[in-house]
């Protein structure tokens, strides 16, 4: 019931106010599989309603989510021996013989004009018992989101960790071959559906960053032919300019309490890290070196900032207390390490690592210092952790175009999200508790 209330609230809050047009502007392509994933059978859900088919393929969305995580292998639909829609119709032998450990059955019912009910059950095939079962009332426009939410429930029941499917991603699309060129900051569901443009400009847009509560996005815009940092309210579409100093205004990063932004400014002559208090607008300079200091990011406990600096000759990652003090170098492997991003638990740091002319995504374990390269492109950049820490999204190059890719944090599962038009770049994964 709690889940049903949350889903209803989500739709009431207008998150899905786009009238059910789930355009698949991003298409998903699995580029690498994984061994050891859990077998799960997701039976196509039943449907009762006036139309011949349900408005969304709810069970298909759930299966695609679970497959994308790399933790599950959904069983092929065409090989199923039976197609039950509720636990009462299940013959567990059918599924044991197919080697399935978990089974998802369900039904979508139309309950009125534009209102639906999704019933589903997650079953343990070997015990023949139910692990979860819910009935979720939902409006038509929220069906996809409800399906992602069900995938989150299943993921959490079976892995013990929260899912991150019912989340969103922000990214920049550059359309350079239209006149004038067009740069768009878009927000979409975590599977690339329901893209919406929140800002469009003929000049570059960069560095989107979600506020910790998911209500605002900070970004850099060159619309006035100079860099300026804006903070935009996503629900309202209103925005505020928070940094328009001479020179660089870049690399915004939110403090975990949402009250401050770390920024790169060059008003004093060269790029330095500053803290901006969003309430009082007070500005504190954090670094002071003749080098390029940029790409700040707060640790999840809010106590320190990791940033990129070439004070040692080449770009490397450093950390500094938010109260100021001495910067300490963090990265020693690789010729080039830049744009650090903490995992949500603060135990890992993802970065862009350059070595032998290739730029790839690497993940460092902060306690041991072990570094693992998790991507295999030549020009990979902008890593962003899923809010549950299980996956990383980053920007890469495929057939001459900028595309987004997702990898499990161990690098074993790789998958691409490709947009139909333009270069897609700078993905930023939303927090889990979207308002």
Least distance between other proteins and beta carbon 359 (Å): 6
| Helix H or strand E encompassing 261 | strand 260-265
From 87-95, 102-110, 208-216, 288-296, span contacting other proteins (CB under 8 A) = 288-296
Give CA separation, 345 vs 109, 153, 279, 349, in Å.
Answer: 39, 21, 27, 10
Give phi and psi for 387, each to the nearest 5: -65, -15
Q: Does 189 bind other proteins (CB under 8 A)?
A: no
Q: Does 179 bind other proteins (CB under 8 A)?
A: yes
Report the C-alpha gap between 297 and 305 in whole angstroms: 5
For other proteins, give the closer residue by CB, 153 or 199. Answer: 199
For other proteins, give the closer residue by CB, 67 or 168. Answer: 168
Out of 83, 93, 303, 314, the only residue in the binding site for other proteins (CB under 8 A) is: 314
For other proteins, give the closer residue by CB, 197 or 323. Answer: 197
Tokens of 162: 């929260």
CA neighbor of 85 nearest in space, from 50, 48, 132: 48
Least distance between other proteins and beta carbon 152 (Å): 21
Out of 49, 379, 410, 420, the only residue in the binding site for other proteins (CB under 8 A) is: 379
Residue 101: CB atoms within 10 Å: 15
For other proteins, give the closer residue by CB, 121 or 190. Answer: 190
Q: State whether residue 376 is helix, strand or coil.
A: coil
Q: Does 430 bind other proteins (CB under 8 A)?
A: no
Least distance between other proteins and beta carbon 238 (Å): 8
Least distance between other proteins and beta carbon 292 (Å): 3
Please report the beta strands in 202-246, taking only residues with DSSP state E, as ranges in sequence order. 205-210, 216-221, 228-233, 239-243
Give CA separation, 117 vs 33, 55, 123, 126, 332, in Å.
Answer: 34, 12, 20, 28, 54
Residue carrying structure tokens 């695609």 = 64
For other proteins, give the closer residue by CB, 69 or 207. Answer: 207
Least distance between other proteins and beta carbon 240 (Å): 11
Q: Does 235 bind other proteins (CB under 8 A)?
A: yes
Least distance between other proteins and beta carbon 301 (Å): 23
From 33-41, 43-51, 65-73, 293-301, span contacting other proteins (CB under 8 A) = 293-301
Out of 250, 344, 411, 427, the only residue in the binding site for other proteins (CB under 8 A) is: 250
Report the C-alpha gap between 9 and 3 in whole angstroms: 10
For other proteins, give the closer residue by CB, 283 or 291. Answer: 291
Q: Does 315 bind other proteins (CB under 8 A)?
A: yes
Least distance between other proteins and beta carbon 50 (Å): 26
Residue carrying structure tokens 């569901």 = 189
Q: Does 400 bind other proteins (CB under 8 A)?
A: yes
Cis peptide before 69 (omega within 30 of 0): no
Report the C-alpha gap between 135 and 4 in whole angstroms: 7
Q: Does 284 bind other proteins (CB under 8 A)?
A: no
For other proteins, give the closer residue by CB, 264 or 408. Answer: 264
Q: Does 350 bind other proteins (CB under 8 A)?
A: no
DSSP-derived secondary structure for 144-176: HHHHHHHHHHHHHHHHSS---SS-EEEEEEEET
Report the C-alpha gap between 355 and 363 in whole angstroms: 14
Least distance between other proteins and beta carbon 101 (Å): 39
* Bridge partners of residue 359, in order along the sequence: 354, 379
SS3 content of the chain, % helix, strand, coil (to 5): 10, 45, 45
Residue 330: CB atoms within 10 Å: 18
Q: Does 297 bind other proteins (CB under 8 A)?
A: no
Q: Does 295 bind other proteins (CB under 8 A)?
A: yes
For other proteins, give the closer residue by CB, 214 or 256. Answer: 214
Out of 102, 107, 308, 415, the only residue in the binding site for other proteins (CB under 8 A) is: 308
What part of residues 200-229 is at the interface with other proteins (CB under 8 A)? Answer: 200-204, 206-207, 221-227
Give CA separation, 58 vs 121, 148, 155, 277, in Å.
Answer: 13, 9, 16, 43
Q: Does 18 bind other proteins (CB under 8 A)?
A: yes
Q: Does 187 bind other proteins (CB under 8 A)?
A: yes
Q: Binding residues for other proteins, per CB under 8 A? A: 14-15, 17-19, 176, 178-180, 187, 196-204, 206-207, 221-227, 232-239, 247-248, 250-251, 264, 266, 269-271, 292-295, 308, 310, 314-315, 336, 338-339, 352, 354, 359, 378-379, 381-382, 397, 400, 425-426
């Amino acid at each position: 019931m709690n889940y049903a209330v949350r889903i209803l609230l989500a739709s009431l809050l207008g998150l899905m106010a786009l009238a059910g047009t789930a355009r698949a502007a991003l298409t998903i392509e699995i580029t690498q599989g994984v061994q050891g994933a859990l077998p799960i059978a997701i039976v196509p859900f039943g449907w009762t309603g006036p139309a011949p088919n349900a408005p969304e393929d709810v069970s298909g969305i759930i299966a695609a989510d679970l497959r994308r995580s790399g933790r599950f292998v959904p069983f092929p639909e065409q090989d199923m021996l039976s197609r039950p829609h509720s636990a009462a119709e299940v013959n567990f032998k059918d599924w044991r013989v197919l080697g399935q450990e978990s089974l998802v059955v369900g039904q979508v019912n139309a309950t009125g004009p534009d209102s639906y009910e999704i019933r589903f059950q997650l079953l343990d095939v070997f015990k023949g018992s139910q692990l979860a079962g819910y009935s979720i009332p939902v409006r038509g426009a929220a069906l996809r989101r409800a399906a992602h939410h069900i995938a989150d429930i299943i993921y959490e029941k079976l892995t013990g960790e929260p899912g991150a499917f019912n989340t969103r991603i922000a990214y920049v699309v550059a359309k350079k071959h239209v006149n004038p060129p067009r740069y768009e900051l878009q927000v979409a569901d975590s599977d690339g559906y329901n893209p919406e443009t929140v800002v469009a400009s003929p000049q570059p847009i960069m560095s989107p960053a979600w506020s910790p509560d998911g209500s605002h996005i900070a970004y850099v815009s060159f619309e006035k032919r100079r860099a300026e940092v804006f903070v935009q309210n996503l629900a309202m579409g209103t925005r505020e300019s928070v940094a328009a100093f001479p020179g660089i205004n870049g690399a915004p990063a939110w403090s975990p309490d949402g009250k401050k932004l770390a920024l790169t400014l060059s008003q004093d002559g060269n790029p330095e890290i500053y803290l901006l208090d969003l309430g009082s607008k007070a500005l504190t300079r954090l670094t002071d070196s003749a080098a390029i200091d940029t790409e700040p990011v707060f640790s999840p406990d809010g106590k320190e900032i990791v940033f990129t600096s070439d004070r040692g000759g080449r770009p490397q990652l450093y950390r500094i207390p938010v109260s100021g003090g001495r910067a300490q170098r963090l990265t020693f492997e690789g010729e080039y390490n830049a744009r650090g991003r903490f995992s949500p638990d603060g135990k890992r740091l993802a970065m862009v690592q350059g070595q032998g002319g290739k730029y790839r995504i690497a993940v460092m374990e902060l306690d041991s210092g072990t570094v693992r390269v998790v991507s295999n492109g030549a020009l990979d950049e902008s890593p962003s952790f899923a809010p549950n820490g299980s996956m990383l999204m980053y920007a890469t190059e495929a057939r001459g175009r900028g595309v987004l890719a997702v990898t499990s944090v161990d690098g074993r599962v790789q998958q691409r999200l490709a947009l139909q038009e333009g270069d897609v770049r700078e993905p930023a994964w939303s927090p889990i508790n979207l308002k």
